Amino acid sequence: MSDSPLSRRARRNADPQPAAEDAAATGSDTTSSTSDTRDGATSAVSGDATSARSSRDDGATAATASGDEKRERKPRSTARTWLDRLILVVAVWAIWAFITTFVVQPFRIPSGSMENTLRVGDRIVVAKWAPRFTDVKRGDVIVFKDPGDWTDPVPSGNVITGGIRKIAEVTHLSASGSHLVKRVVGVGGDKVSCEGPGQKLTVNGVAITEPYLKSGVQPCQDKFSITVPKDKVWVMGDNRSNSADSRYHDDGTGRLGSVPVGDITGRGLAVVWPIGNIAGGHNDEDAFSKVPAAK
């Protein structure tokens, strides 16, 4: 049977429905896509905002923690700083006091009595252990305390300078009392003598050649002969014509002019200043090597 015109129109009117449904479906997908896109964008924006807030919060937390640490690390107090400095000063002083009491001590040469071995202004260091643990020998250069008015009294000065000097002595920054430096030419029991100008010094009968004497100086100007008491030493300067040594403080017996071994501060170790004069202790035991022991 052939289709009538009416039937064909009816079918054409009925066909557009799926297209509408497709259109609706397409529109729904588009709407859904648009909605998804908006939701994604919103989500992305929301995520970025959340991330930014989180970063700011973390930064604020870190800054707060850092501030707390800074508050915890307070600077050291002024009192503690000064206490540390005081401890350092005391420690340095204690070390210095120990060294100058038992090991070595510096001295300044004040006069020309030991020229040309030691010159005015030279700084020498003496070994303080030497008199305690070894015998003092002939030819040694020694520093000793004034055994009795050998030197002029040190001016006391005013209250300030006197106080400073006393503090320096107590703290071992300066030697206490007056000290002298001479050369040992005789020890306990030795007979030391000289026949006068132009003659050599003799010890226990042996004439001594003294290479350390200042050029042009006589070994002695006056005749003398003494015996050194036990536990004492007889001392003379290398510049014999300008040295108020044992000879000038004796009564002709050796008793008053000899220096007690207990008054010896130390044996010459080295000249340390000025640089041009740096040298050893200038001890010369070899000059007395042929001298026999005292009888």
Q: For the segment 80-125, what is each residue's pLDDT rounded down to a tens digit?
A: 889 999 999 989 988 988 888 888 999 999 999 999 999 999 999 9
What's the mean pLDDT when you consider all of the chain?
78
Q: Work out the pLDDT band at 185, boundaries 50, 70, 90.
A: very high
Please choose, from the candidates 251, 194, 259, the residue with its C-alpha nearest in 3D space to the C-alpha of residue 221.
194
Q: For the segment 250-278, what is each residue's pLDDT rounded down to a tens digit?
A: 999 999 999 999 999 999 999 999 999 99
Q: Which residues pair with 204 in a beta bridge?
A: none
- The answer to whether the CB of 121 falls within 8 A of the CB of 274 is yes
Listed in sequence order, the residues at least 6 apart from 154 whose beta carbon sits closer than 8 Å to its beta carbon are 165, 178
Give the DSSP H/E element, type plus range, for residue 56.
helix 16-72
Task: Enter the pTM of the model.
Answer: 0.69
pLDDT value for 21: 37
> DSSP letter at 58?
H
Q: For the segment 187-214, what is each residue's pLDDT rounded down to a tens digit?
A: 999 999 999 999 999 999 999 999 999 9
Please choose, from the candidates 273, 265, 268, 220, the residue with its C-alpha nearest in 3D space to the C-alpha of residue 243.
220
Min mean pLDDT across 99-108, 138-147, 214-223, 226-235 is at 99-108
Catalytic (active-site) positions: 113, 182
Give the DSSP H/E element, type plus range, for residue 269.
strand 264-273
Per cent of the chain over pLDDT 70 is 67
**Residue 216 backbone zone (phi > 0: left; psi -120 to 50: alpha; other: beta):** left
pLDDT value for 160: 77
Residue 42 pLDDT > 50, yes or no? Answer: no
